[in-house]
């Protein structure tokens, strides 16, 4: 198992969303970013899968903690993600506050806890946060 995540746009329900290359928002604005957990070791792009990676549904009661590492090492955010759709535990929502000071390109460090099993994953350069002055 190789835990990772892909970003989702225009999320309205478990069957109503679009896949995205990255998550994006503007610094200084509250935003919700949706991700779908995947097992990156399965259904690879070289085998013709698009998007690559197989959706991963964690056990009921699982928790997901996300550390967002900004390009500024002094600025990082740790948040608990929420599971907005009980019918699909693969989709998680990460909320950002208007007061969050991260900007630029950010990497997500995932920690998924399923009972006694803890899985870690990394999404390199997955977030793009434009500064409130218009420059990333």
* Distance (Å, whole) CA 69 – CA 51: 24
Backbone angles phi, psi at 99, to 5 degrees: -85, -5
Q: What SS3 state is found at 2?
A: coil
Cβ-contact 108, 66 below 8 angstroms: yes
What pLDDT score was predicted for residue 29? Answer: 92
Asked whether the predicted pLDDT for residue 135 surpasses 60, the reply is no
Give residue-wise pLDDT tens across range 10-64: 999 999 999 999 999 998 899 999 999 999 999 998 898 988 999 999 999 999 9
Is the model more confident about 133 or about 97?
Answer: 97
What pLDDT score was predicted for residue 131? Answer: 82
Please give the C-alpha separations between residue 82 and each of 7, 65, 90, in angstroms, as whole numbers.
Answer: 15, 9, 11
* Distance (Å, whole) CA 72 – CA 27: 14
Give residue-wise pLDDT tens across range 73-127: 677 899 999 999 988 999 999 999 999 888 889 999 999 999 999 999 999 999 9
What pLDDT score was predicted for residue 109? Answer: 96
- Location of structure tokens 């259904």: 43
């Amino acid at each position: 198992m190789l835990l990772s995540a892909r970003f989702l746009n225009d999320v309205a329900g478990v069957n109503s969303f679009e896949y995205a290359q990255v998550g994006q928002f503007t610094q200084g604005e509250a935003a919700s970013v949706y991700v779908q957990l995947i097992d990156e070791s399965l259904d690879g792009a070289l085998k013709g899968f698009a998007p690559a990676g197989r959706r991963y549904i964690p056990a009921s009661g699982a928790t997901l903690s996300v550390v967002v590492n900004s390009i500024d090492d002094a600025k990082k955010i740790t948040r608990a993600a929420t599971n907005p759709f009980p019918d699909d535990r693969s989709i998680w929502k990460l909320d950002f506050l208007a007061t969050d000071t991260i900007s630029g390109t950010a990497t997500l460090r995932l920690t998924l806890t399923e009972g006694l099993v803890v899985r870690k994953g990394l999404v390199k350069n997955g977030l793009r946060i434009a500064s409130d002055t218009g420059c990333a």
